[in-house]
């Protein structure tokens, strides 16, 4: 049966089939959280964010919201249904019996928290203390989908305790240096330990029957094993990208565009032994274009590689950030129609066009691309 805007249905099996219904985040009340182990490991050592925390400046929140609203409006004009989260008060400390941190993060980006697999939306464990309660921003939508779609499965992964046992103290030093970080990444020695399952949803890519999961700072091996047991009808594959000194979230590193074609960050190449599954099934892995910028915008956690953090609308159409001219040019050469979207001033709120969205419905069914 074809999709209808009047009827809520949750379903998405991959990253490229025609997108019909999507969540776009909001910058409302976003905070720079205080220091904590996993977050600090990701903040670049030369970042302007080191040592400061608190509510983000209002003018930056307003500007990011303007861009996110424009993006949502453009998607609606193209016929998509767009839902938005309801911001909780992120100034409220996150406190459990196991930890306390003075503020939360925000309701950006939804891709980090929500993993849609078929008819299910799964709330990730998360691995930062300041993001422990972030799922609450999306609960009104989850309730609505539950009420309106009888097939919708609303799932939540076990909330982690996030005690100090979850983090390697070696990463607490302010000056580690890229050489040491790269050595540790090669050894798969990340800030998170194997104390309990941890994963962020943005470490998972969906290829129909196959889920490809990055092992890094925000997702540990137990988290990947938890996903394997949770999705028994899927094949779950662990991948690493040793060239990344700050490995979180796969979506500025490995970007499937359509069946048979993936962009890979040239500084974070997938190792040879992990390419077999793709290349053995005639998938082409192409180096992505260089970012247009040498540095991220102010107060930004992410790298300049948000250039490749694109949102695929269908196998021929892709949203690319407006200033990322080299990425747009490459997409054009690869036969994709490019929709330019201005978002750079919202990058600081947690990411790019893929990050700031979460799939609710894409056409298509669960296919086996790697038989
Ligand atoms: N959330 C995507 C960030 C990845 C990166 O900083 O490259």
Domain membership flag for residue 65: yes
Domain membership flag for residue 228: yes
Q: Is the CB of 356 under 6 A from ligand 1?
A: no
> What's the structural domain count of the chain?
1
Cβ(353)–Cβ(71) under 8 Å? Answer: yes
- Residue of 21, 249, 356, 359 marked catalytic: 249
Percent of the chain residues topping a pLDDT of 90: 93
Chain segment 124-158, per-residue pLDDT in tens: 999 999 999 999 999 999 999 999 999 999 999 99
The pLDDT score that the predictor gives to residue 278 is 98
Chain segment 71-123, per-residue pLDDT in tens: 999 999 999 999 999 999 999 999 999 999 999 999 999 999 999 999 999 99
Domain membership flag for residue 278: no
What gap in Å lies between CA 196 and CA 179, rounded to an integer?
28
Active site residue 233: no
Domain membership flag for residue 295: no
Active site residue 154: no
pLDDT for residue 1 is more than 80: no
Q: Which pair of structure tokens corresponds to residue 321?
A: 């950030």
Q: What ipTM describes this predicted complex?
A: 0.97
Domain membership flag for residue 289: no
The pLDDT score that the predictor gives to residue 48 is 82
Length of the chain in residues, anyone?
371
- Residue of 149, 355, 356, 359 marked catalytic: 355
CATH number of the domain to which 211 belongs: 3.75.10.10
Q: Quickly count: other Cβ atoms within 10 Å of residue 215's Cβ.
A: 20
pLDDT for residue 40 is more than 90: no
**What domain range includes position 44?**
19-244+342-362
Query: To test ligand 1's pocket by mutation, which of 301, 302, 311 has the most ligand atoms within 8 angstroms of CB?
Result: 302
Chain segment 49-77, per-residue pLDDT in tens: 888 899 999 999 999 999 999 999 999 99
Pick the residue whose CA is nearest to atom 3 on ligand 1.
302
Q: Which pair of structure tokens corresponds to residue 229?
A: 């047991």
The C-alpha torsion from 247 through 348 and 43 to 124, rounded to 10°, is -50
Active site residue 249: yes
DSSP code at position 16: S
Domain membership flag for residue 23: yes
Of 31-40, 247-256, 296-305, 323-332, the range with the lowest mean pLDDT is 31-40
Q: Which pair of structure tokens corresponds to residue 143?
A: 């309730």
What gap in Å lies between CA 361 and CA 364, rounded to an integer?
9
What gap in Å lies between CA 49 and CA 19, rounded to an integer?
35
What integer best gives the mean pLDDT of the chain?
96
Domain membership flag for residue 194: yes
Domain membership flag for residue 108: yes
In this prediction the pTM is 0.97
Q: Which residues contact 166 (CB under 8 A, 6 or more apart)?
A: 37, 38, 127, 160, 192, 193, 195, 196, 198
């Amino acid at each position: 049966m074809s999709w209808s805007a009047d009827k809520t249905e949750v379903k998405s099996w991959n990253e490229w089939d025609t997108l019909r219904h999507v969540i776009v985040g909001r910058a409302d009340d976003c905070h720079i959280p205080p220091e904590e182990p996993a977050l600090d490991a990701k903040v670049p050592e030369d970042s302007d964010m080191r040592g400061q925390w608190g509510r983000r400046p209002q003018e930056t929140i307003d500007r990011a919201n303007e861009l996110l609203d424009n993006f949502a409006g453009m998607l609606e004009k193209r016929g998509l249904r767009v839902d938005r989260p309801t911001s909780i008060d992120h100034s409220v400390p996150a406190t459990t019996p196991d930890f306390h941190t003075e503020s939360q993060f925000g309701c950006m980006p939804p891709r980090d928290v929500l993993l849609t697999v078929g008819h299910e939306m799964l709330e990730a464990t998360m691995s930062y203390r300041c993001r422990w309660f972030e799922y609450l921003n999306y609960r009104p939508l989850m309730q609505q989908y539950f009420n309106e779609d009888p097939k919708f499965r609303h799932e939540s992964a076990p909330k982690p305790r996030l005690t100090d046992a979850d983090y390697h103290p070696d990463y607490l030093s302010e000056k580690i240096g890229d050489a040491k970080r790269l050595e540790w990444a090669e050894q798969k020695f990340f800030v998170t330990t194997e104390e309990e399952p941890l994963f962020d949803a943005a470490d998972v890519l969906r290829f129909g029957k196959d889920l490809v999961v990055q092992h890094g700072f925000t997702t540990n091996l137990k988290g990947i094993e938890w996903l394997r047991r949770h999705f028994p009808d899927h094949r779950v594959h662990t991948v690493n990208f040793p060239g990344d000194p700050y490995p979180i979230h796969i979506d500025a590193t490995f970007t499937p565009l359509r069946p048979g074609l993936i962009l890979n960050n040239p500084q974070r190449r997938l190792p040879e032994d992990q390419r077999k599954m793709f290349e053995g099934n005639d998938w082409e892995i192409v180096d992505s274009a260089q970012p247009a910028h040498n540095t991220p915008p102010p107060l930004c956690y992410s790298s300049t590689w948000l250039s490749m953090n694109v949102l695929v609308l269908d196998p021929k159409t892709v949203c690319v950030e407006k200033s990322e001219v080299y990425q747009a040019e490459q997409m054009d050469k690869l036969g994709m129609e490019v929709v330019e979207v201005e978002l750079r001033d919202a990058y600081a709120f947690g990411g790019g066009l893929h990050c700031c969205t979460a799939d609710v419905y894409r056409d298509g069914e669960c296919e086996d691309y790697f038989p």
